[in-house]
Amino acid sequence: MGNTKHTKEQIRERIQQKKILFDGAFGTYYGGKYDTKQLPELANLEAPERVREIHTEYLEAGAQILRTNTFAANSFCMDRSKEQIEETLRSGVRLAREAVAAWRERTGETKEVYIAGDIGQIPGDALAQKDTLCREYKEICRIFLEEGADFFVFETFSEMEELLPAIKMIGEQAFITVQFSVNQFGYSNAGLSARKLLQRAGEAKEIDAVGFNCGVGPSHMHRILQILEKPEGKLLTALPNAGYPQMVTGRMLFTGDNKDYFVDRMQQMTALGVDMAGGCCGTTPEYIAELAGKLDLTQYPQAKKDTEPEKQQAPKEDRSFYHTKEAEGRNRKLIAVELAPPMGIDDEKLMDAAHLLQKSGCADFPGFSFGTYQSRFHSHGGEGGKRDRYVCHAPYLLPG
């Protein structure tokens, strides 16, 4: 998407020849750069120079895929009229193109740059509001196609059922990337495993690239990718957060400088077969510049699966928490107790209660859940929009 129209095949062939870099975060970078809690998408109409400036910074850093500033440009997140939301989507495409054109004119750079229409998961009950969500995704895609979009990025999704009608509508008209968000245990907010998510996306012939973004830092994303198989015929993406945020004066912020660590883990992920690398929350143009300068983007031939019958291997020892010497011979079901955490930060009584349950034999594995909280570290909060997201974390088991 840009001055030159690209086909799906042209984009795929380019990436198969050499791995490619996405840009980094827009929302968290925008909030920090301009010290604002305002929804970033509002800037498309209210402060377009800011949007062009951030796109330009990522171009100068070495990004070759720019995502439009439209992640939350939908009726659920933006407290704006239908016409204003549509104009926000259209201006998101135009501003990215303007940034590329001005950058080329100033630098004389001729390398290929792709502008991807960025679509985030719309908050809502995917089951109860499925028809409504499907219609809105299709409408967003229709607008992007009218603007000449040839590259789409659906990102931070917990499932993809409501996306399928829009994906089928796009069909062969554009290159389609679908990225999921999972926690450090490899599960999405919808309770689907990373393996299942890749499997389902791999079954959709219209999708060209699948992968993960947000949710976790580079180390956890690397661990998750280590145990997964790349869907046959699909390119693989990885855009982790810079790390994990901290609460500072009422705001979720990414602090510290871990660019070297980030690059090291990204190098390990590209070695696993990741074709398209970049960053999500907390990453900045400096992170992308480090990736561009140090990441090996060579496309090495991937080892083919061994089609010979698997050799018989010695049985592996079962190290699961419920299969211990103490548990053997116990002819009863396991008992799990989930304790609600306190409202404050003092968890001493909670931990004492958990250990008491464990030692008394009343529970085999007491644990506690962080429950549901409002997560703002993907810049899902802000003035002028309803961008709060609710994230349910799995119970954390106490060590025995």
> What is the bridge-based pairing of β-strands 389-392 and 372-375?
antiparallel
Whole-number pLDDT of residue 359: 64
Composition of the chain by helix, strand, coil, percent to 5: 35, 20, 45
Whole-number pLDDT of residue 303: 59
Strands (E), 147-228: 151-157, 175-180, 209-213
Ramachandran sector of residue 62 (left: φ over 0; alpha: ψ -120 to 50; beta: rest)? left
Please give the radius of gyration of the chain, using alpha carbons only, rounded to the nearest integer.
22
For residue 374, what are the contacts with CB-CB under 8 A and spacing of at least 6? 381, 388, 389, 390
What are 5's two structure tokens?
A: 């129209």
Q: Return phi, psi of residue 315, to 5°.
A: -60, 140
What are 307's two structure tokens?
A: 């089609």
150 burial class (0-12, 13-18, 19+ CB within 10 angstroms)? buried
Give the dihedral sign, CA 134/137/143/144. Answer: negative
Whole-number pLDDT of residue 321: 47
Q: What size, in residues, is the chain? A: 400
Whole-number pLDDT of residue 393: 34
Angle (CA) 118 224 393, round 5°: 80
CA distance linking residue 382 with residue 359, whole number of Å: 46
What are 129's two structure tokens?
A: 């509001």
Count the Cβ atoms, other than its own, within 10 Å of residue 224.
24
Q: Contact at 8 Å (CB) between 354 and 367?
A: yes
Number of H helices, E strands in the chain: 12, 15
| Residue where the block lists tokens 């809105």 | 136
Task: Tell me how far the alpha carbon of residue 253 is from its chain's centroid.
Answer: 17
10-residue block means of pLDDT along the chain (400 residues)? 78 97 97 94 98 98 98 96 98 98 97 97 80 96 97 97 97 98 95 96 98 97 96 97 75 76 97 97 97 94 54 48 52 70 61 68 61 38 42 34
What are 36's two structure tokens?
A: 């604002």
Whole-number pLDDT of residue 74: 97
What are 10's two structure tokens?
A: 């042209």
Q: Contact at 8 Å (CB) between 222 and 268?
A: yes
What are 151's two structure tokens?
A: 């590259």
Say whether pTM exceeds 0.85.
no
Determine the 3-state secondary structure of 78 from DSSP.
strand
For residue 304, what are the contacts with CB-CB under 8 A and spacing of at least 6? none
Q: Contact at 8 Å (CB) between 202 and 235?
A: no
Angle between helices 285-294 and 48-61 (to 10 degrees): 20
Query: Which whole-number Å values give the CA distances from 8 to 153, 171, 198, 288, in the listed order?
Result: 13, 10, 20, 25
